[in-house]
Structure 1
Amino acid sequence: MQLNAIIVDDEEYSRKSLFFLIDGYCPKVKIRGIAKSVQEARQMLKSNEIDLVFLDIAMPNEDGFGLLPDLQKNSGSVIFTTAHNQYALRALKASAVDYLLKPVDIDELNEAIEKAVVWKGLNQTNSTNIPDHSLQLNSLEENLNEIKKITKLNLPHLNGFNILNVNSIIYVEADSNYSIFHLEDQGRLVVSKHLKEYEEILINTGFSRIHKSTIINLKHLKNYSNKNGLIVSMSDRSEHTVSRRRVSDFLETVRLFYNNE
């Protein structure tokens, strides 16, 4: 059994690398199209019979979850492919076949495709046409057991990914549409994604957004004072202002963080 599939991802490197993996190592899948956005993917679903979608989640304008109603109309299955494991619970609720973290591992990719093949077979033999989501739920529950706490972050750039230990991040600052990661080895990484996306990923892992342009890692917080507004000092000797409207949230986050340490 062969699956007709499309790839949906806004990052060129991710699209190309996943295509080459599937084309070279996954004979049960035929890629029928590659989309840069959910809108492009919708058009492909209208003009092609698609069994499977490899779907990124964090994309500009509309995230991958916006495509799910269209997939349901076409009886297609989805394998989420994302660098951000905070989406695992939503993927579970969406009853995806599987959930793969970037950079995609070839063995995990093949396992996910085997599940999609089984799922297609179940749909074909189900005379009531009522989907049985137990296969997807079991698969994602297994994945969730391995994704309890974020310890690494995959940061995309033009030629691939940088995989960071989150403890090495001192703070992240916004620069227009970019996020700049300041690291404990005095290095910097510039990523072409909004700070808001990383706030959603890091906010429950010991980080605090203290300003519209700054997220700090509380593990690197050295002290804070309120002589002229609330100022925090970090392990790299940088200082940052906590915006007035975020002071209460910051102090509560610090209290909870150190009570749980």
Structure 2
Amino acid sequence: MNVFHPAQANGTVILIAAGGGYQRIGIAHEALPAVRWLTSLGITACVLIYRLPRESCPHAPSVPFEDAQRAVHLIRTNQIGCNFTPSIVGALGFSAGGHLLGIQGLHPDLNGSPTPSTHQILKDQLDIMMLLYPVVSFEPPFRTTRASLNLIGPHPTETERRRWSLPSYCHPNAPPLFIAHAYDDPIVEPQQAALLERHYIANQCPVERHLFSIGGHGFALGLPQTPPHAWPHLAEQWMKKNNAL
């Protein structure tokens, strides 16, 4: 994990996980622009360099989630070189990185019970989550993605699909959620974000979802003069409502 300190910290720390389908990590395209944006707001930004499932031997789907859990613990216990105790600990995940941090936010103790207990929910909990064009579910009717292939293989069981799908872990104490997606995303259907939104609403948890008419997949902070370029400003307003700015 690489830590980037702003000139004047406001007490908020955001853990960033770039995407790449659990095959690579898009640091330059997604993580570093996010670092520059967040630190300009006074937020301490931590870039998670997580292990990829197929880098382990034998293949272990849990390794990136173990890394995310460890990173949040280090932030929560003030082991990242800050001269303050974080007041807000949040997540910013892109694509597969959104899936990774979404699991961390909804089920912090991945190695515990499949149904999170109150203790597990409170342990190393995130305060807020921002997920950009996230992989949400591996269950039908959603098509197979590179993320699902690299994480659980080409022939997963129904139990495996459910275990690695975010809606399985939505609960009434889930952290406030901001989602942004593009209607024309050719890789991760925008209906995935809509599914997560519905589960949040069903659990009476705060969620704000933005669907842009165009933008495709992997728009990061959004190119100027394109609809997704608006999402960082929208996220700033959302963070203010959630006491992160």
TM-score for the superposition, normalised by structure 2: 0.38
In our comparison, the structure showing a higher alpha carbon Rg is: 1
Instruction: Tell me which protein shows more strand as a share of its residues.
Output: 1
